[in-house]
Amino acid sequence: MSKPEYKVEFTKTASGLKGYAVVNSKGKQVYFDESKADAEAECEVQNAKHAQKKQKKESRAFVATRMAEAFIQSKVKDDFKKVPIVSIHTFKDKQGGIRVAEISVWQNGKNGSGGGYSWMRCDATNAGAIILAVEDFILTYDVKAYRPKGWESDIDEHADAEYKLGILIDDSKTE
């Protein structure tokens, strides 16, 4: 488990009042109380809020990337004797969005030997299209289907992204 963001310290204020302060990891006091129990309760609340914020930031992209890996794994598993290991290597662009740099598909063999392949941005094949389709899959992962006013059917952007990725992977197998 990681180190908590907030902690309780016994302190004395400039006016001479003694009590307990809730201090963040940078040393800034965020709460003060004369009761240690109240300060500890506030510390727990602050740590829970911090953990929830951190989880919300990472969870959507993390889950979407893992789901993309599972989807790719299901599409390419026939190429290998055992179930392959798929890993998607991402980075953040200047606007804070997620970009895919490489998709590795490989299988461990005996004594560390194994084989596989990689789709990278620098490849001249249709790897670029696959990488863009994976980015689209990740970006539309939590997008719910919606129906514009006056339309008779829903628009499901994630289903479209999944379909395009499946077609591109199937096409890459035949080449």
Helix/strand/coil (H/E/C) assignment for every residue in the chain? CCCCCEEEEEEECCCCCEEEEEEECCCCEEEEECCHHHHHHHHHHHHHHHHHHHHHHHHHHHHHHHHHHHHHHHHHHHHCCCCCEEEEEEEECCCCCEEEEEEEEEEECHHHCEEEEEEECCCCCCHHHHHHHHHHHHHCCCCCCECCCCCCCCECHHHHHHHHHHHHHHHHHHC
> What does the pLDDT look like over 155-170, one tens digit per residue?
889 899 999 999 998 8
Instruction: Encode pLDDT of 44-98 as tens digits.
Output: 888 888 877 766 555 688 889 999 999 999 888 887 777 788 999 988 888 878 8
User: pLDDT-derived band of residue 4, with 50, 70 and 90 as boundaries?
Assistant: confident
Average pLDDT over residues 106-129: 75
Q: Give burial (CB, 10 Å; 0-12/13-18/19+) of 2.
A: exposed
Residue entry with tokens 């997620």? 98
Q: Which residue has the higher pLDDT, 123 or 42?
A: 42
pTM of the model: 0.62
| Cα–Cα dist 122/171, whole Å | 19
Q: Which residue has the higher pLDDT, 1 or 3?
A: 3
Mutual orientation of helices 36-76 and 127-139 as an angle, nearest 10°? Answer: 140
End-to-end CA distance of the chain: 46
pLDDT on residue 68: 93
